[in-house]
Chains A and B, each alone.
Chain A
């Protein structure tokens, strides 16, 4: 079945540092890929998505590229802020509109 593996956290960075959160997946066919973010005390919200190979999703300075050859969708940001502290979830959808989520990676950014 479908599965998503993402790096365990917490990831602790200083403000303005470069961020990478790794995500790899296993799926049949050609899934759509997503990154969701969960701020403290809130529900999840879509951060970015990519629907086909080589697509790059981007939003709020974050970006991720759909790499079919490595089955990966790593999240990156060039300069993190304290306000980026949250839990980040990688997810995929391979039909029927039900998402499969990774376990989440907590990001902590200090001033």
Chain B
């Protein structure tokens, strides 16, 4: 089983629908992140959390919200999806010891299509 699990792996939805992407990890890491990948744009940080009570906006947080339900769970929500949120979304984790050098551990991604 993967250490960082994202669900769903693929989702097609319509404009205006509410969508939640979930991430769970078994690595015991305290830090979790949501990134978005678009062709030609690389990865951009949406939100990150350094522990259960800590939530921080990344560079592209507009239109998204997150919830850190437990140390191992970090979900990303689109309250009202729009077509330009069509992208590949990645969850990632790190812990304090490797976090200081920046190593992240990624899930396999959730591909979201908004029609």
Contact = CB atoms under 8 A, between A and B. Distances in A.
Interface of A: 32, 34, 41-46, 49, 51, 89, 91-93, 97-99, 101-104
Interface stretch (B11-19, B60-68, B72-80, B100-108): B100-108
B33 to A, nearest CB: 7
A45 B101 contact: no
B102 A43 contact: no
B101 A98 contact: no
Contacts of A92: 102
Contacts, number: 55
Interface in B96-115: 99-104, 106-109
Given A89-B42, A98-B33, A103-B42, A43 B100 contact: no
Nearest to B99: A97
Nearest to A31: B102
A51 B103 CA distance: 11
Contacts of B50: 97
A44 B105 CA distance: 8
8 closest A-B pairs (Cβ-Cβ)?
A93-B102, A43-B106, A103-B42, A97-B99, A101-B43, A44-B106, A101-B42, A43-B108
